[in-house]
Structure 1
Amino acid sequence: MDDIAFSDASSLVERLVAREFSSIELLEHYVERVERYNPRINAVVAMQLDEARARARTADEALAKGRRLGPLHGLPMTVKESYDIAGMATTWGNPLLKDNIAAADAVACQRLQSAGAIIFGKTNVPLSLADFQSYNDIYGTTSNPHDPGRGPGGSSGGSAAALAAGMTALEMGSDIGGSIRNPAHYCGVFGHKPTWGILPIRGHALPGILTPTDLSVIGPLARSARDLALVLDVVGGADALQTPGWHLELPAPTQKRLGDWRVAVWADEEMAPVDESIKARVLEVARLVEDAGGRVDYRARPAFSADHSHEQYEHLLYAAMSARQPEAVFEENLERLSRLDPRDKSELAYEIRGSTLYYRQWHACNERRTHLRWAWHEFFRDFDILLTPAAATTAFPHDHSEPLEARELTVNREQRPYFEQIFWAGLTGVAYLPSTVFPAGLDEQGLPLGVQAAGREMGDLATIEFARQVGEVMGGCAIPAACRA
């Protein structure tokens, strides 16, 4: 059954329903691949095989009686470690939470399993979901299947690595600062950061937390764009508090071919430069649209400056992240703030200021963010898609040096600050825009490249459809040579 290891979830469900193979056979296929490849990659960090096998048998029995359980009937999949699964630990990579056993499934996991999916395991994350790499003191380091000397991204790094290695059919990740998008880019798979709030996040939180975190979303990683749309359909919509009053109806895209799209291109930025190989691939996608007869504009920008947008994003991001920190860390940041030079514009300075905002300051920043949202709204009257890089480089070598803010990346043979590349996540994330990252081939080192397609709020199906159409031309997911067997 190795020929199915890299099929997308939609195809696998079709074949399950056609009874080409059973759910229990497909599950055991993935378990065997985990046993074979995971020791080298360390993407899948926990499994619940007894429960998964029982669900698989139930799916097979239902199908034998002519009953389909849902659009994900009998499909084995994994989820990011930060999702609650009853009876399993939810640690966020933090040793202090190693004994935090979930009492119930996250809402997203409930909906996936109600649609017929079989969640058989969890995938690795960085400490507190706060890094572009995925390693922690509980589960160790996850490697990129395309080159084990490099990371798979973070914080949904285990998710992307497991998919890329053919160890799971589908994944659920989360994103506040590119945590779905940069792993999809680094590992050569599809990933979608939804419009904020359209997928219920309850059960993807630290113990006892019910309030959704600003900027933070949950979303799928997959081996095809159509799988992304399928997950949005299954998981999307109001949580129980709001279901009596609203239902999610995302507008369907009308573009049938690449020549039908109106595309703006933001391929590089002085304050957050990207490697020439990244820029070239963004421009290549733009030329595909252009050659097909679509409208492409390389100069169009929304009515605000890049640095203004990024300043709001960093303040709001660090304010949101500070809610996850212990009280002692907050008190330490208050003390550091008192010694901070007002002229300091370093990443650490932004982190300290954002982590210690008074509500009045946060509210003013949020008001500026709302102005950004309306500026994007006007921008997307003229365009369907904004093309940007997903990150500054392809997957980089493991770097566990401390402190994080002192790390650097090599961009065009120049050393640049590690966190500078978060600009490309924040450009769309600060304004709640949907963003789909899709595979766009390999670089000269044989490493995957992804491109980000962003759209207007609630335009999720458009960015996914654009990714699907480009994927048909560019070949889709990159399969690691070492995982083909």
Structure 2
Amino acid sequence: MPLDLPFQSAKQLAAAVRKKKIGCLELLDLYLKRVETHNPKLNAVIATDIEGARERAKMADAAVAAGGKLGPLHGVPMTIKESFDVAGLPTTWGDPAFRNSLAERNALLAQRMVDAGVTLFGKTNVPLNLADWQSYNEVYGSTNNPWDLSRTPGGSSGGSGAALAAGLTGIEAGSDIGASIRNPAHYCGVWGHKPTWNVVCPQGHTLGGNVAYGDIGVVGPLARSAADLEIAMDVVAGPDAIDARGWKLGLPRSKKKKLADFKVAVLLSDPNAEVDHTVQAEIQKLADFLGTKGATVSDAARPAIDTAELNDVYIRLLRAATSARLSDEAYRQAVADAASLAPDDMSYFAQMQRGNSLSHRTWLQLNEKRHRMRLAWDAFFRDWDLMLCPVAVTAAFPHDQQGLRHKRTIVVNNKHLPVVDQIFWAGYSCVTWLPATAAPIGQSPEGLPIGVQIVGPQYGDYSTIAFAKLLEKDYRGFVPPPGYN
């Protein structure tokens, strides 16, 4: 049964515009009306330029009428994560100190999407400094999950995931250093792609005028269809103007046309981050299905990596990558904490403070370990096409905004465990720069979305997306949350 228009993919929306089944302004107004109706309870879209967007939509309609060449996303209404610069709108990362910091120009990813034809009309909510699996801050308040308003939509691209799932926008983009694309996709029942590191330029995804590109973190698309991820990657991937003087991107296309062509390994849980049985069950169902379709499936194949070491390297490099934004006082406290910790203390707090105060010498040592693991992954992918694993340890959890994040807990298999444990599943692919696509595959007993993380070899972005497209076709397509028709 075809989806209602607001829930169709960006590819379908662009096709409707090209075929003149709907006008660009008409389509924009449809989504603006839905934002007016549904956003008050979700608080996903937190800043808009309606007047400017309507003028751009009128220009897009004129282009259709003129019969000229149209971009692949012509006329598709789009919102984007608040952390990207959009000319004339504030970029705050949820920090009140930047409440009035209006961007002068679009981030490179945003501009490339505009050049592909989207009608960019607003921005979506994030947590403070993009540092939570919830999306709330003092500037814009809290965003709710459209499947259950009492639960988080994920983070840090939580507004992106919620807006897509509820049919408030046609396509989205986010950033990911700790599952910030993959986690909201999993919690909200949409698709998200974390590209290979440095494949999509993050220019304009910074705070306070910073211009350097950081370690581990990436920017990439979220959508209601895996096909949209592919279109968006075609649009946004590639170097900035300076790097383009010296190199061009040539991501290989997948040659596999059916699920039976794939050799996949499946990982359901790990001692570093126990996964709830409800999530494991959905991934196992998928693995069983793949077997019936003729795919080669292994529950034992693994890269030759100590996952405890991987987790330690990831957390310390992650915290080092984000440590520049610490205040001098917070940095001094991290140095003091790290010096006082017992060497065998491997708690998240200990690893976090060691990372926040990392010396360059230690960073180099950790980077050497990272590259050895990168080689181990590459050896693994000579025999296997993909690794399927969890995105997070549970489906979306209830809002919990009290106290420090590393002291909060979530219920996993009837036990209260630290919420930060699940950062392992972010780093499993992230620290070694691998691409990973999050795709919805089922629901929890409470009716909440559950996704799978499809990890591929470095620069294998189109392979993970191709597999997600086949899952969408043969296993599970987009399912809208109830109550948003």
* TM class by smaller structure: over 0.9
Q: Does the alignment pair 1:179 with 2:162? A: no
Q: Structure 1 residue 326: deviation in Å? A: 2.2
**Cα distance, 1:92 vs. partner?**
0.1
Residue aligned with 2:417, SS? strand
SS in 1 for 2:173: strand
1:341 deviation in Å? 2.3
Unaligned runs of 5+ residues in structure 2 are none
Give the letter aligned to residue 58 of structure 1: M
- Equivalent position of 1:238 in the other structure: 239
Q: Which residue number corresponds to residue 324 of structure 1?
A: 325
* Pairing 1:111-150 to 2, within 5 Å after superposition: 111-150=112-151
The Cα of 1:403 is off from its aligned counterpart by 1.3
Amino acid at match of 1:341: A
Hey, what does 1:384 align to over in structure 2? 385
Q: Does the Cα contact within 8 Å between 1:438 and 1:452 map onto a contact in 2? A: yes
1:350 aligns to what?
351
Tell me the distance in 2 between the aligned counterparts of 1:328 and 1:419: 23
Partner of 2:152: 151
Residue 272 of structure 2 contacts residue 311 of structure 2 at CA under 8 Å; is this kept in 1?
no
**Alpha-carbon offset, residue 325 of structure 1:** 2.0
Deviation at 1:2, TM superposition (A): 9.2
Aligned to 1:251: 252
Q: Matches of residues 159-238 of structure 1 in structure 2 within 5 Å? A: 159-238=160-239
Corresponding residue number in structure 2 for 1:73: 74
**Residue pair 1:438, 1:476 contacting (<8 A) in 2 also:** no
Amino acid at match of 2:331: F
Tell me how far apart the structure 2 counterparts of residues 339 and 442 of structure 1 sit (CA, whole Å): 44
Matches within 5 A, 1:30-45: 30-45=31-46
- Report matched runs for 1:302-317 at 5 Å: 302-317=303-318
Q: 2:13 is matched by which residue type in structure 1?
A: L
Deviations 1:6-52 (A, max 9, x none): 00000100110000010000000000000000000000000011111
3-state DSSP class of the match of 1:387?
strand
Contact 1:438 1:467 in 2 (8 A): yes
Aligned to 2:369: 368
Measure the CA separation in 2 of the matches of 1:140 and 1:89.
Answer: 15
Q: CA deviation at 1:118?
A: 1.1
Aligned counterparts of 1:55 and 1:186: Cα–Cα separation in 2? 32
Q: Gapped runs of 5+ residues in structure 1?
A: none
Q: How many residues align?
A: 484
Task: Give percent identity, aligned residues only.
Answer: 46
Equivalents in 2 of 1:348, 1:477: separation in Å? 38
Name the SS for the 2:78 alignment partner.
strand
Q: Secondary structure at the match of 1:374?
A: helix
Structure 2 Cα separation of the partners of residues 337 and 450 of structure 1: 36
Q: Per-residue deviation at 1:287?
A: 1.5
- The 2-side partners of 1:427 and 1:475 are apart by 25
Instruction: Give the Cα–Cα distance (whole angstroms) in 2 for the partners of residues 2 and 420 of structure 1.
Output: 37
Counterpart of 2:96, as a letter, is: P
Aligned to 2:264: 263
2:394 corresponds in structure 1 to: 393
Which amino acid is 1:473 matched to?
D
Give the SS at the match of 1:183: helix
Distance 2:111 2:63 in 1: 19
Q: How many Å apart are 1:361 and its aligned residue?
A: 0.5
Q: How far, CA to CA, are the matches of 1:473 and 1:294 in structure 2? A: 13
Q: For residues 383 and 158 of structure 1, what CA distance do their matches in structure 2 show?
A: 35
Q: Helix, strand or coil for the counterpart of 1:314? A: helix
The superposition leaves residues 401-456 of structure 1 with CA deviations (integer Å, 9 ceiling, x where unpaired) of 11111100100101111100111110000110000000112111110010010000
Q: Compute the RMSD of aligned alpha carbons.
A: 1.2
Residue in 2 aligned with 1:411?
412
Q: Distance in 1 between matches of 2:271 and 2:335?
A: 32
SS in structure 2 at match of 1:45: strand
**Stretches of 4+ aligned residues off by more than 4 angstroms:** none
Q: Distance in 2 between matches of 1:203 and 1:334?
A: 31
Q: Is the 8 A contact 2:164 2:223 kept in 1?
A: yes
Contact conserved, 1:261 with 1:289, CA < 8 A, in 2? no
Aligned residues of 2:173 and 2:221 also touching (Cα < 8 A):
yes
Residue identity in the other structure for 2:284: L
Determine if contact 2:81/2:125 at 8 Å carries over to the other structure. Answer: yes
- Residues 442-461 of structure 1 aligned to structure 2 (within 5 Å): 442-461=443-462
CA contact (8 A) 1:187 1:478 kept: no
Distance 2:71 2:349 in 1: 47
Question: SS where residue 219 of structure 1 aligns?
Answer: strand
1:213 is displaced (CA, Å) by 1.1
CA distance in 1: counterparts of 2:442 and 2:301, whole angstroms: 26
- CA distance in structure 2 between the aligned counterparts of 1:344 and 1:443, rounded to whole angstroms: 34
Deviations 1:181-223 (A, max 9, x none): 0100000000000000000101001122111110100011001
Verify the 8 A CA contact 1:441 1:474 in the aligned structure 2: no
Q: Partners of 1:306 and 1:193 in 2: how far apart?
A: 20
